[in-house]
Amino acid sequence: MASLRKLHARLVVLGLERDGPSMLNMLSSCTPSTCDLEYACLVFERVEHQSYFIWNTVIRTSAEGSKPEDAIGFYKRMKQRGVQPDNYTFPFALKACSRLEEIAEGRKMHGDIVKMGLSSNVFVQNALIHMYAANKKIGNARQLFDEMPERDLVSWNCLISGYSQNGCLRDVLALFQEMQSQNVLADEITMGKVILACTHLGEWGIARLVVEYIEKNSVKLDMFLCNTLIDMYGRCGCVDDAYKVFVEMSKRNNVSWNAMITACAKAGDIAAARKLFDEMPERDLVSWTAMIAGYSQASEFSEALALFRQMLIENIKPDEITLVSVLSACAHLGALNIGRWIHNYIHQNRVKSDVFLGNALVDMYCKCGSIDMAIDVFYNMPQKDVLSWNSIILGLAVNGRASDALQLFPEMIRVGVQPSDVTFIGILLACSHEGLVDQGYGYFEQMMNVYHLSPQMKHYGCMVDLLSRSGRLDEAYKFILKMPFDPDPVLWRTLLSACAVHGDVELAEITTKRLLVLEPSNSDNYVLLANVYARTGRWTDAMRIREKMKGSNLKKTPGCSSIEVNGVGYREQILVCNKE
């Protein structure tokens, strides 16, 4: 800016401040990052003979600067002063319309282009395609593309980028295929968008073919394409391929590092992710969020909270995405105090509270046993999705508020939220805790016949638990035998636990036989059967099972408990010593 003013002052001293060529040279040196556009515009107004070149220079500088609306204003004034726009004017003016999403002004310029006979100019047409795509008029962009008498690579890339920006990912792949059929050689811009489309569509087979195309045609690997490849490889679990791209990059930015951290964390290699995190030249919010999310996904919840504390110490402000992962860690650890602190932080710092953050708060309060706070958060959420309803229904069911959970179900239907299979797990759990066998059967039938959801293992498990808690063990056994798929060990163990409570020795023995086929080394099955024998006074059989456990070198799984002290969670294992 200082250099611009010095240059202008020199021109004033030389008497050239109104001279077109001299002012053109000065204005041409302006860039949006180095130039005060308002000052440049004042200088422009003093030029006596404003040529095409000067107008185009000012329009270009404005379109690329912080006030692209000025470019549209200059375009209008250019026409008012009788200076006819040319094929260099329109790409800059249309760029301003793209940035501002000014479709009305863009259509007017399109009309001017037709009147001036520039409809066949490939550069102008490319700018129009980009403008329509940026304004979400992808149909108009495609029509222009199809009507072009001549296309270049930029034409194809403009439409491919437009499809990508508008979420038309299948069209991205189809247009790339059309490019190949017409022998148009793609570049790094094309391939970046195509790989991105494959990634979001989960089309890993096509992605492999695209990578082969890149290698075969020696497509330049710029930073965007490399970052896109790392992300793609990470999402499909090919961490070694992602790392190969990463280490071969001549230059990396934070996106590169963050994509590689996420790839390692997703693959379960949390140590490699942390090593990359520690080696980063400079971390941003995404880096911290990716690492915290990685710890949460790897069930290393204490590490997630420790890193969150370190993040705050380094004065990095978390956003709603970060806090969702931290709240998940709090929920699993039962760290209610930290969860409450985060809730207060959200209010005090006006963190954007979207439906995901609201759901995370509801889930955290439910899992920490603070059900009243969960209800308060739920009813104060401006938007709710099916996960919101599922979280509160499940939370109420497992926190002794089964009747409240059941009352929420008709309310959920009334507001137009379609229940999912998880909803019915919560409903069936509530019926189980209340002993509502007939209602449980009714909801189980509704799930299939009204909402057309196929019951999964957990739904059958809830029904077996419901029947077992109600003492209807034979009915539970018959229910298991009628299942359309083989029951898992958890389901059989639910029935065996009920046999221990109700002292049904015969059914316990039948159930144990089934369990030992599925889990011959699980000591819990032997312990439950021994408890059944002990409960019914069959001490000899109970001792026989205990001796069998010793002979098989099976040990009872120790229990554990967790407590929170000053916001830090501790887990304590309970060891039981048997005296010989």
Instruction: List pLDDT tens digits, range 210-238.
Output: 999 999 999 999 999 999 999 999 999 99
Of the pLDDT bands very low, low, confident and very high (cuts 50, 70, 90), residue 281 is: very high
- For range 159-187, the mean pLDDT: 96
- For range 427-451, the mean pLDDT: 95
Strand (E) or helix (H) holding 278: helix 270-279
Instruction: Kindly tell me if the per-residue pLDDT of 14 is higher than 60.
Output: no
> How remote is the C-alpha of 64 from its chain's centroid?
31
> Given its phi and psi angles, is residue 82 left (phi above 0), alpha (psi -120 to 50 degrees) or beta?
left
* Distances 96 to 89, 130, 294 between C-alpha atoms, Å: 11, 11, 40
**Contacts of 269 by beta carbon, 8 Å cutoff, 6+ apart:** 239
- For range 433-441, the mean pLDDT: 94
The whole-number pLDDT of residue 74 equals 85
Q: Which residue has the tokens 């185009």?
A: 56
The whole-number pLDDT of residue 511 equals 87
Instruction: List pLDDT tens digits, range 302-355.
Output: 999 999 999 999 999 999 999 999 999 999 999 999 999 999 999 999 998 899
Q: Does residue 208 or residue 553 have the better pLDDT?
A: 208
Range in 45-59, 93-107, 118-132, 449-463 the model is least confident about: 45-59
Of the pLDDT bands very low, low, confident and very high (cuts 50, 70, 90), residue 578 is: very low
Q: Does residue 529 or residue 155 have the better pLDDT?
A: 155
Q: Tokens representing 379?
A: 């009813």
568: phi then psi, degrees, rounded to nearest 5: -110, 130
The whole-number pLDDT of residue 1 equals 46
Q: Tokens representing 192?
A: 């970046």
- For range 168-182, the mean pLDDT: 97
Q: Name the packing angle between helices 489-502 and 457-469 (round to 10°).
A: 0
Strand (E) or helix (H) holding 392: helix 386-398
Strand (E) or helix (H) holding 433: helix 421-434
Q: Does residue 153 or residue 22 have the better pLDDT?
A: 153
Range in 116-125, 245-254, 549-558, 565-574 the model is least confident about: 565-574
Instruction: Kindly tell me if the per-residue pLDDT of 531 is higher than 80.
Output: no
b/e per residue 419-457 (b: at least 16 CB within 10 A):
beebbbbbbbbbbbbbebbebbbebbeebeeeeebebee
Instruction: List pLDDT tens digits, range 507-516.
Output: 988 888 888 8
The whole-number pLDDT of residue 277 equals 97
- For range 73-82, the mean pLDDT: 87
Instruction: Kindly tell me if the per-residue pLDDT of 577 is higher than 70.
Output: no
The whole-number pLDDT of residue 40 equals 58
DSSP for 493-536?
A: HHHHHHHHHHT-HHHHHHHHHHHHHH-TT-HHHHHHHHHHHHHT
Instruction: List pLDDT tens digits, range 361-409.
Output: 999 999 999 999 999 999 999 999 999 999 999 999 999 999 999 999 9
The whole-number pLDDT of residue 508 equals 85
**Contacts of 551 by beta carbon, 8 Å cutoff, 6+ apart:** none
Q: Does residue 84 or residue 200 have the better pLDDT?
A: 200
**Contacts of 60 by beta carbon, 8 Å cutoff, 6+ apart:** 71, 92
The whole-number pLDDT of residue 16 equals 47
Range in 33-42, 371-380, 495-504, 527-536 the model is least confident about: 33-42
**Contacts of 373 by beta carbon, 8 Å cutoff, 6+ apart:** 340, 343, 365
Q: Which residue has the tokens 């967790």?
A: 562
Number of H helices, E strands in the chain: 33, 2
Q: Does residue 44 or residue 183 have the better pLDDT?
A: 183
Q: Tokens representing 90?
A: 């329109």
Rounded CA separation 424/409 (Å): 9
Strand (E) or helix (H) holding 166: none
Range in 105-114, 168-177, 564-573 the model is least confident about: 564-573
The whole-number pLDDT of residue 9 equals 53
b/e per residue 25-59 (b: at least 16 CB within 10 A):
ebbeebeeeebebeebbebbeebeebeeebbbbbb
- Strands of 137-251 (E only): list them: none
Rounded CA separation 215/221 (Å): 10
**Contacts of 16 by beta carbon, 8 Å cutoff, 6+ apart:** 22, 23
Confirm if 94 and 123 have CB atoms less than 8 A apart. no
The whole-number pLDDT of residue 62 equals 84
**344 C-beta neighbours (distance < 10 Å), count:** 10
Q: Tokens representing 505?
A: 């020795």
310: phi then psi, degrees, rounded to nearest 5: -65, -35
* Distances 468 to 15, 66, 283, 295, 516 between C-alpha atoms, Å: 100, 69, 54, 38, 20
**Mean pLDDT for the chain overall:** 87
- For range 472-490, the mean pLDDT: 93
All domains of the chain in start order, with CATH: 473-580 (1.25.40.10)
